[in-house]
Amino acid sequence: MSETADRYRRRADAFERKVVAVRPDQWANPSPCEKWTARQVVRHILDMHAVMLRPLGRSLSPAPSVDEDPLAAFRAARADVEAILDDPALAGQECDTPSGRVTAEQHIDQVVSEDLPMHGWDLARATGQDDTIDPEDVERAWAAMKALPAELVEKFRTPGAFGPDVEVFGPEVKVEEGASPQDRLLAFIGRDPRWRP
């Protein structure tokens, strides 16, 4: 198994644990993503899994909807992505993405795998769970953010730049001097680390 597949599985496991811990009465809770409830955070993650499959001519396998069973929906979507990561021919297939031509494995690693810890924080914060992001993921994401060219960061902050209703980053949030690495990362992508439902 590749390092990319290992990383995806570890992150998907952490996200899945958060989905499992959501009580039925919490799915309509607001999340730190201004327009989304807890359920909509999971729906976004499923949508991004579908986006990873599209360049390979695939789509999500039949499964319960997020409205019916968020956990079953997530488990089915992650199985679809893991099937790509576990098949060297599929993982190595090149595809066109908004970031240029990359392998399917790289696309998964750079997009949906990176999304899981951040949106895991959203889901945890919305439902009163432990919202600590793995320090390794924080460090890796922070290094990636700091390496982004300023014009790309600006594009990420521009609503609709990657399609209708797509917003990658929100406006940067100010945090105090000496904020934790996790809080600095969240603030950079437009989350308020102090947000509470």
Pair 125, 143 in one domain: no
The helix/strand count (H/E) of the chain reads as: 9, 2
Residue 155: predicted pLDDT: 83
Pair 109, 34 in one domain: yes
User: Given pLDDT bands bounded at 50, 70 and 90, which one contains residue 20?
Assistant: very high
Mark which of 131, 155, 172 sits at the end of a domain: 131
Q: Is the pLDDT of residue 165 over 90?
A: no
- Give dist(CA 97, CA 183) in Å, integer: 29
Pair 32, 127 in one domain: yes
Pair 121, 195 in one domain: no
- Give dist(CA 145, CA 188) in Å, integer: 8
pTM of the model: 0.92
CATH number of the domain within which 72 lies: 1.20.120.450
Q: Percentage of the chain with pLDDT > 70?
A: 96
User: Given pLDDT bands bounded at 50, 70 and 90, which one contains residue 152?
Assistant: confident
What phi and psi, each to the nearest 5 degrees, are found at residue 167?
-125, 115
Structural domain boundaries, residue 38:
1-131
Mean pLDDT, the chain, whole residue set: 93
Of residues 84 and 151, more confidence is placed in: 84
- Give dist(CA 151, CA 148) in Å, integer: 8
Pair 29, 101 in one domain: yes
Pair 105, 167 in one domain: no
Confirm if 30 and 128 have CB atoms less than 8 A apart. Answer: no
